[in-house]
Structure 1
Amino acid sequence: MDDTRLHRLTPQEIDAVCALARTVWQATYPALISQAQIDAMLADRYAADRIRSQLDDPNHAWWIARRGQATVGFAHAVRDGVRCKLDKLYVDTGHQRQGIGAALLQAVQEWARQQQGRRLWLQVNRGNTQAVAAYLKYGFGITESRVFDIGHGFVMDDHVMELPL
């Protein structure tokens, strides 16, 4: 983690986040959801205009992790009343298990506490056993498991997990 820098995302870095999202999703999700759903979710959640508008919204916060010139991870959180949602946390597959995800999660937790959040919550695909195990390791507990209809004939089969702050 020594040479990894974490900071709040700037508009100039949005394209790098979108590119990393595509890389990580293509390495993670084809065994869990269809390519059509991957493409639809990437197009929706990583549209540059959407991220840009979130950067200007005080209820949203984005972080980026960089090593040298390479983008190696990112996180996004949303204030949701007395809870904050960890909406996205991804680390490049070649840089996982090096403390980057933990550092991003720490930044999100600090931000959530500053927002007077009492709980941090997230949704994670039930089949993403590596991510589920990581979140359990960091103190999250599974509060429910269900299928969420996200439109266009797609669903997310997720655990909802929470961490008291």
Structure 2
Amino acid sequence: MRFEPVGTDEQIKDLAAMADEIWHEYWPGLIGKEQTDYMVERFQSFDALIRDIRNGEYEYWFLVDDQSGEDRIVGYTGGKMELSTKRFFISKIYLYASERGKGYASRVIHFYERLCEMRRLKAMYLTVNKGNDLAIRAYEAKGFKTIEVAETDIGDGFIMDDYIMEKTVEERES
């Protein structure tokens, strides 16, 4: 799998369209359609993505399966470095419904482990919806531990009810 950085306006438009599709495949069953619509517009629309990327706050990558000789985008991931805590915040790991369960998420976690090592960060962390049992089990299997519970008011009466999970990155000897 290849991780293709997202940076051009055209790539950001493609990412926003992908996010809209994937989020509407996955989230309405957990948080409802209204909150899904709100969160896509607020956090994953073209305007939100371009602002976050251009401000240098977040980095995004397309997940490209290049094993079959034909490049196929299967999802996307993104996050940001937090220098004050020496951690990387994994904000998004999203796959099309047809691509889940094929080991891509494990490759994404491995990508972030290498990224943290290269950037000399001590850990990576993410938030996961408390009702997302499948994701919680998957993250625990990859070594993440729940370190906190967070209820975040994101506006318009919507709350994100999450666990914060962290994985320490082991330093390797050079």
TM class by shorter-chain length? 0.7 to 0.9
Which has the higher mean CA deviation after the structures are superposed, 23-32 or 61-70?
61-70
Q: What is the alpha-carbon distance in structure 1 between the residues aligned to residue 167 and residue 124 of structure 2?
A: 5
Residue of structure 2 aligned with 1:15, choices 1, 13, 16: 13
> What are the ranges of 5 or more consecutive residues in structure 1 without an aligned counterpart?
none
Kindly indicate whether residue 77 of structure 2 is the aligned counterpart of residue 75 of structure 1.
yes
Are the structure 2 counterparts of residues 112 and 53 from structure 1 closer, same or farther at C-alpha, using a change threshold of 3 Å? farther
Identical columns (%): 25
Q: Give 1:150's aligned residue.
A: 154
Q: What is the alpha-carbon distance in structure 1 between the residues aligned to residue 152 and residue 53 of structure 2?
A: 26
- The alignment yields a C-alpha RMSD, in angstroms, of 1.9
Q: Is the 8 A contact 1:126 1:157 kept in 2?
A: yes
Q: Give 2:172's aligned residue.
A: none
1:59 CA drift (Å): 4.9
1:50 CA drift (Å): 3.2
SS at match of 2:29: coil
Q: Give 1:139's aligned residue.
A: 143
Kindly indicate whether residue 124 of structure 2 is the aligned counterpart of residue 126 of structure 1.
no
TM-score, L = length of structure 2: 0.82
> What are the ranges of 5 or more consecutive residues in structure 2 without an aligned counterpart?
170-174
SS at match of 2:101: coil
Are the structure 2 counterparts of residues 43 and 120 from structure 1 closer, same or farther at C-alpha, using a change threshold of 3 Å? same
Structure number with greater CO (CA < 8 Å, separation at least 6) is 1
Kindly indicate whether residue 111 of structure 2 is the aligned counterpart of residue 113 of structure 1.
no
- Equivalent pairs counted in the alignment come to 162
One-letter amino acid matched to 1:19: A
Q: What is the alpha-carbon distance in structure 2 between the residues aligned to residue 46 and residue 78 of structure 1?
A: 15
Larger radius of gyration: 2
TM-score, L = length of structure 1: 0.86
One-letter amino acid matched to 1:71: I
One-letter amino acid matched to 2:4: H
Q: What is the alpha-carbon distance in structure 1 between the residues aligned to residue 47 and residue 119 of structure 2?
A: 25
Large movers: runs of 4+ above 6 Å: none
Q: What is the alpha-carbon distance in structure 1 between the residues aligned to residue 74 and residue 117 of structure 2?
A: 25
